[in-house]
Amino acid sequence: MRFKKVVLSFFLASCIAGTTYAQTTDESGKLNSNATLDELINFALRNKIELKQANIDKEIGEREIASALSGWFPQINATGSLAHAIQIPTNVINGQVIQMGQKNTSAFGARIDQAILSPELFQASRAAKYVRLQQDQNIESTKINTVVDVSKAYYDILTSEESIKIIKENIVRLQRQYSEANARYETGLVDKTDFKRALISLNNAKAELKTAAEMRDYKYDYLKMLLGMNTKENMSLSFENQAMESNILLDTTEILSYANRVEFRQTETLKNIQKLNTQYQKWQFLPQLGAYGMYNANFFNNNFSQLYSTNFPSSSVGLSLSIPIFTGTKRLQEIRKSELQEERIEWDLLNLENQISTEYSAAMASYRSNMNEWRNSKENMELSEDVYNTIKLQYDAGVKTYLELMTAETDLKTSQLNYLNALYAVLSSKLDIQKALGTVDITK
């Protein structure tokens, strides 16, 4: 039957690992018409909103690193002041009242500070690589979810498209059966029960088609959202054969490695950052040492017009040292708190290992179960096709009743839809296993 050719197109979607992505956009930057799964993934990896946000977060992280490390550069500050004394301050010296100062004063100064020993800057220098690693891992995690989500959405649309084809073929058969039943009724060969049953089945099939079409439109909008496209933009997909049936198979003997999971590596990075924070709290016992140099230009005069005629400069260079002696045990408490947070992350890693193992076990069980269901559905579909063809011939010959024909037709449609749903479940669970193993291909 035609359905056997139609369902083969479903297998195009199963090549995930080792994929080479094709050109996805035209010169205007829009998605090409009749896009394949590879093109959809490539387009999503370039345009998905969450990925753009993740890349912006990486840029923000770079600015934060640069801001933190800028403390190692000389810090230069300039000051200036201008004051007019309405009443000059006075003081008593040797029993005489003497005015101290002049009516107009002005000063300009510059100071340069250079950090030499600073716990904050030590931490910033060592934390930079972990901050960058953390941002890269966040982008990697977003890409993995993007590949999986786009692939599943594509499979779902493909399932809907093939289901709609099946329903339309069913409507054609029901329309033909209704016409035949109505003709037999008008010629008096049968009563009106057969053609009324045929009309009921036909109406139900048309309603089913409308529902399936509405759901398909939603699935297209959902895929557009994953791609970062406006839902009002047009999209057309290609479902031509690109893979063989064997591509739904998966090596179920592959060993699970926690280090392949980006979530595990993210937690390890967080652990390293926390260790660095503990070291920083210990560095708080160190003194802060810096060098400085300053220059001040000072101007004094009772006459404002002659204020800047003479400069009385001052300048100096030196070292500044700050030694924390007692802070009420705050530093000790912060060290202990950070060590406890390290210990908590250790438990997070252990818990994550258990979660990954359970996730992998569940995905593998689902994949094997779906494979069995798919094989069974495929066999049932072939059997139901044979049964329907046989009963249709017998009905035309007057051997079988119309009710038996309708039952066979219903079984055929159900088995075809079950086959598609089972195939989608296999491909979806295959993606879940690849995600659990950490082997989803996110290369461009």
| pLDDT recorded at residue 19 | 37
Residue 375's closest CA among 383, 364, 387? Answer: 383
Q: In what order do the strands lie in the sheet with 104-117?
A: 75-84, 104-117, 288-301, 314-322
| pLDDT recorded at residue 30 | 78
Q: Give 2-48+118-287+326-437's CATH code, choosing from 3.40.47.10, 3.40.50.920, 1.10.10.10, 1.20.1600.10.
A: 1.20.1600.10
| pLDDT recorded at residue 266 | 96
Rg of the Cα atoms in the chain: 38
For 119-145, how does the pLDDT look when each residue is reduced to its tens digit (9 = 90+)? 999 999 999 999 999 999 999 999 999
Residue 439 parent element (H or E): none
How far is it, in rounded angstroms, from Cα 160 to Cα 234? 18
How far is it, in rounded angstroms, from Cα 228 to Cα 223? 9
By DSSP bridging, strand 314-322 and strand 96-99 are unpaired
Task: State the number of CA atoms in the 13 A half-sphere of 115 facing the CB.
Answer: 15
Contact 237, 34 (CB under 8 A): yes
169-to-165, 239, 341, 352, 412 alpha-carbon distances in Å: 6, 19, 63, 49, 11
Alpha helices (runs of H) in 187-261, residue ranges in sequence order: 193-227
| pLDDT recorded at residue 366 | 94
Contact 212, 160 (CB under 8 A): yes
17 or 86, which is more confident: 86
Task: State the number of CA atoms in the 13 A half-sphere of 280 facing the CB.
Answer: 19
Contact 418, 382 (CB under 8 A): no
On the 0-12 / 13-18 / 19+ scale of CB atoms within 10 A, 196 is: middle
For 237-283, how does the pLDDT look when each residue is reduced to its tens digit (9 = 90+)? 877 644 545 567 787 788 999 999 999 999 999 999 999 999 999 99
pLDDT at 15 over 60: no
Residue 108 parent element (H or E): strand 104-117
Q: How far is CA 397 from the centre of its chain?
A: 60
Output the six-digit token pair for 24: 């996805």
> Which 8-state DSSP code applies to residue 400?
S
